[in-house]
Amino acid sequence: MKLYQYLSEDSIRVRLQSGQKEQAIAELAELLKDHPAMEDFQKFLSGVLAREKESTTGVGRGVAIPHARTDSVKDFVAAIGLAPEGIDFQAVDGQPVKLIVLMGVPSHKINGYLKLLAHLSLLFKQHDFVHDLLEASDPAAVIETFKRYEE
């Protein structure tokens, strides 16, 4: 499973307007509101925010992966947001988050979900990958960066 296959230019914001965690998540979720796989947008957003309250999805190195396993989506959905100034996500390393990958996964697709989280974890450990994403000037460059590293 490659993330770039699920991204479109409409699901990427290279400069998030929101400077707070919950607002940034809502801003990214809004990009998925009209996605064909979205069944119940409010339930999806509520699920992501509830998951975030359980424990931070700020995984370190400036990256956060807010997500929800939910019946509010009928297929995998993802949105990417860049926050050059950084957002406090209470990340595990205490650093501000500059790259956010918002995901929704149907409840019944647990295997694919776990594989994708593991895949992203390995990608985000590569300093050059994160750096290249943060340097992306437009959504097409974000997709191209994912494609280049995932192939």
Q: What is the pLDDT of residues 9-20, one digit of tens each?
A: 999 999 999 999
Give residue limits of the domains in the chain: 4-145
Confidence of residue 151 (pLDDT cuts 50, 70, 90): confident
Which pLDDT belongs to residue 51?
A: 93
**Whether 95 contacts 61, CB under 8 Å:** yes
Which pLDDT belongs to residue 116?
A: 83
Of 35, 67, 119, 127, which residue is the catalytic one? 67
Q: What is the pLDDT of residues 64-74, one digit of tens each?
A: 999 999 999 99
Q: Is 119 annotated in the active site?
A: no
- Beta strands 67-70 and 97-106: pairing type? parallel
- The rounded percent of the chain whose pLDDT value lies above 90 is 84
Q: pTM for the whole thing?
A: 0.94
**Whether 11 contacts 35, CB under 8 Å:** yes
The CATH code for residues 4-145 is 3.40.930.10
